[in-house]
Structure 1
Amino acid sequence: MKKFKFVDLFAGCGGLEDGFLQTGYYECVSSVEWLKPQVETLRHRLKTKWNYDDADNKVLHFDIQREEELFSGWDDSEFGISKGLDYLVKKSDGIDLIMGGPPCQAYSVAGRVRDENGMKDDYRNYLFEHYLSVVDRYKPKLFIFENVPGILSATPKEISIIDTIKEEFSKHGYLISSDLKKYGVINAADYGVPQNRKRVIIFGVRKDLCGDAAIEVVDDFYKIILPKYKTDKRYTVEDAIGDLPVIYPIWDEKHRKQRKSYNFDETVNWHKPRYHSLRDMEIFQLLAKDIETGKNKYIEAKELTKLYAKKVGSNSPIHRYHVLRKNQPGTTILAHLYKDGNRFIHYDSKQARTITPREAARIQSFDDDFEFLGSQGNVYQMIGNAVPPKLAYAIGMAVNDILDKIENEGS
């Protein structure tokens, strides 16, 4: 069976391409990522799960902003040696698809609120230009561009970033939806991911392949083809993590040696809690028990803000705590989890903790055989930044349907 060939940009640890590879319809030509733990994780996954013996060469550890070297190769003290992307694409006799999404911090609404300039001066606003350069160079049939919903309202330098993206891709021969606000926002919970995670999926098609039918191809992707792969059930946090081994807190300060605050046996990879102080553990237990008992005193932001001020001794403009609801999809897993897990408190009051990396991975729909490499902080960050593989699987199935149709009509 012929497989469609892709390049994955801003690949992270590979959540997006893992879902595509699970379909059985695709072959990875190359992936580009600049953070080392993510690169090592993706290489390991391609070798151990997908049997890519040449994963070290396929996964390019490099800065996409250095375009000339990215294409032609480099010899660099930080990023090592590579023949570059041109070599890999030529070796594979071209590609069918480019996927990926630039870092989303510059587009996120929360990021714009926190930044005094609303992220208008953030260089990441324009990383899509490097994505476009790769698309323009290799002319794939289709592309998938993933990002946060905030991209739809981002206006660096008072210009709509989404309008700029539409115009630039159009200039280079690609059509995307004219109404992404209506069609482009996809909730991963609709596709079997136990998490309410809304993301903008920009699907683009090369206009010369479809002619006047290009608009119909784009519209069908959102209205007919992708929705075919929705799941009948919405999965909950308990569905995702309820069968994992229980992790019990250590309350006696005398036994909290070597910064160990819980008793656990890591029988499942990365089911390992972070260290918490007794104060924080008491807060987590209080908040989880409040929901378990049905009192629900602390489910409102105002009460949580008061609690934070009382327990921590400082005021915060936003509430700092959230208990995951066991009978609902989880809240959006964020990369910020590597700094602060207080918005991801386990629903079981007896455990008095925030979620482990493996629990975060399950809520992101990663399989347990997906091995993350790096420090605990690295792992939380790469999980939070990833595209959920189950959502990626659905997108991969939909894209395959369209590529099959294009191929059949062109033959």
Structure 2
Amino acid sequence: MNFIDLFSGAGGLSEGFIKAGFNPIAHVEIDSNACKTLETRLTYHKLNEENKLDYYHDYLLEKLSREKFISNFSNHEISKSVINSAIGGENNTEIFKRINELATDREIDLIVGGPPCQAYSLIGRARDKNKMRDDSRNYLYKEYAKFLKEYRPKVFVFENVLGLITANNGKFFKNMKAYFKRIGYELNYSIETSSDYGVLQKRKRIILIGWRKDIDFKFPELNTEKEGDWTVNDLLTDLKILKPGEQNNITKYRDNTTDYLSKFDLRNGIDYVTQHIARPHNNRDLEIYKIAINKFEKGERLKYPDLPERLKTHNNQKSFVDRFKVVDGNGLSHTMVAHIAKDGHHYIYPDKKQVRSLSVREAARIQSFPDDFFFEGGRTAAFKQIGNAVPPLMAKEIANKIHEQLINE
């Protein structure tokens, strides 16, 4: 069964659907680094099918340049299928042309994707004097709908933040649902918590699923029973101890795998890991991190006004008082978001022995990306892609439920 991934980012949603048995026809994404990540990952899946993963490992181990890796082991179809373009306006004509060339006589069974969420997010609305009402991204669902009208997939999946429901007093969401119904789709939605799918973070998202009115389909009963009493420490303890700014791109594991990593296949069975790299921090930030960790170990959270005056740099001490936040190693992480690309203050490592913010690999694991998933573009670009992604473990469960129904239908 074939699918198109819109606003695809690094491909977290796509990773889940591929592992559930769906075949990607095209990914459409505006960020060039994310497009390179998609091409790398699609090449991984191709080599995996061909039982040639040794070549992929050579790339991860820097024995092959990316240019040689892509030219030797990717193919024209993969290259053409990753469409680096903004969705909307005149761009859609070229995007449709590219997809049609790839699809040939193959039916598009599914469209997935989640438009940028900044216009719907509570934080975005709080920062904007017009509550983001005039932001053009509020209407990207209409661009999404153009692909539904063009390809008439059996099912679509639309993922976004909870703020979508309340934006503009609920009018955007009401209009969106009515619009999708008007073009021929029944639909329903649920609010899903990623930790119910094995993802070790407190991440809630709206999952809207629509289906063509002429097919026998119903909103799936998603898996909401948490398996095991896993914690973030189950993700972290096998990785090498890092100093701030340490940039060893390839490191050996320092300990055996954990039950969690084995159960959800995050460690992949190889004996090394890439992108376990930490950003540098100045002395002031490190001192604040130590204070935050000490407080957290006593069961308290650091509030910005509680810092010594000499460590404060912001006059506003009423907004975002939790800007320095320790990840809960003995529980679930708070939600991973793209702001981690700006600084690591909101994602402090939960141990006084490693005073720093999370590494790229640690952030990726919290989002449930496997260790052999490589993010192109460098550290900052990787953090952005990770923060914007849909957790693959959650995506896979949703994909499995849809796959079951479509097979029966």
Taking structure 2 as the reference length, the TM-score comes to 0.83
Residue in structure 1 matching 2:187, options 176, 189, 197: 176
Provide the residue aligned with 1:359 in structure 2.
362
The count of corresponding residues between Structure 1 and Structure 2 is 358
- The CA deviation string for residues 261-287 of structure 1, in whole angstroms up to 9 with x for no partner, is 558674121111111001111211222
Residue in structure 1 matching 2:100, options 64, 74, 86: 86
1:46–1:117 distance in 2 versus 1, CA, 3 Å = same
Post-superposition offset of 1:335:
0.5
Post-superposition offset of 1:309:
5.0
Contact 1:58–1:88 (CA under 8 A) maintained in structure 2: yes
Post-superposition offset of 1:94:
1.5
Contact 2:247–2:278 (CA under 8 A) maintained in structure 1: no
Greater shift, 279-288 or 4-13, is seen at 279-288
Post-superposition offset of 1:159:
6.4
Determine the C-alpha separation between the residues in 1 that align with 2:38 and 2:2: 17
The 3-state SS of whatever aligns with 2:330 is coil
Provide the residue aligned with 2:119 in structure 1.
106
Residue in structure 2 matching 1:40, options 27, 32, 36: 36
Post-superposition offset of 1:289:
2.6
Question: Within the alignment, does 1:57 sit opposite 2:53 as a pair?
Answer: no
Q: Report % sequence identity.
A: 37
Residue in structure 2 matching 1:193, options 171, 191, 199: 199
Determine the C-alpha separation between the residues in 2 that align with 1:159 and 1:386: 25
Determine the C-alpha separation between the residues in 1 that align with 2:38 and 2:85: 14
Post-superposition offset of 1:327:
1.1
Q: Can you give the 5+ residue segments of structure 1 that lack an aligned partner in the other structure?
A: 75-82, 250-260, 407-411
Determine the C-alpha separation between the residues in 1 that align with 2:308 and 2:180: 47
Residue in structure 1 matching 2:292, options 269, 283, 287: 287
1:73–1:105 distance in 2 versus 1, CA, 3 Å = closer
Residue in structure 1 matching 2:154, options 135, 138, 141: 141
Residue identity in the other structure for 1:170: K
Provide the residue aligned with 1:388 in structure 2.
391
- The CA deviation string for residues 127-182 of structure 1, in whole angstroms up to 9 with x for no partner, is 11111000111000000000000000011xx66111111110101110112xx4xx
Residue in structure 1 matching 2:15, options 11, 18, 23: 18
Residue identity in the other structure for 1:57: K
Contact 2:202–2:334 (CA under 8 A) maintained in structure 1: yes
Determine the C-alpha separation between the residues in 1 that align with 2:379 and 2:249: 16
Determine the C-alpha separation between the residues in 2 that align with 1:272 and 1:96: 39
* Superposed counterparts of 1:10-409, under 5 Å: 10-23=7-20, 25-51=21-47, 53=75, 54-66=77-89, 68-72=90-94, 83-89=97-103, 91-155=104-168, 160-177=171-188, 180=189, 184-210=190-216, 217-218=218-219, 221=220, 225-227=221-223, 230-248=225-243, 261-262=245-246, 266-267=250-251, 268-292=273-297, 294=298, 296=299, 298-299=300-301, 301=303, 304-307=304-307, 309-316=309-316, 317-319=319-321, 320-406=323-409
Contact 2:286–2:356 (CA under 8 A) maintained in structure 1: yes
RMSD: 2.0
Determine the C-alpha separation between the residues in 2 that align with 1:127 and 1:323: 35
Greater shift, 46-55 or 281-290, is seen at 46-55
1:145–1:308 distance in 2 versus 1, CA, 3 Å = farther
Q: Can you give the 5+ residue segments of structure 2 that lack an aligned partner in the other structure?
A: 48-73, 252-272
Provide the residue aligned with 1:258 in structure 2.
none
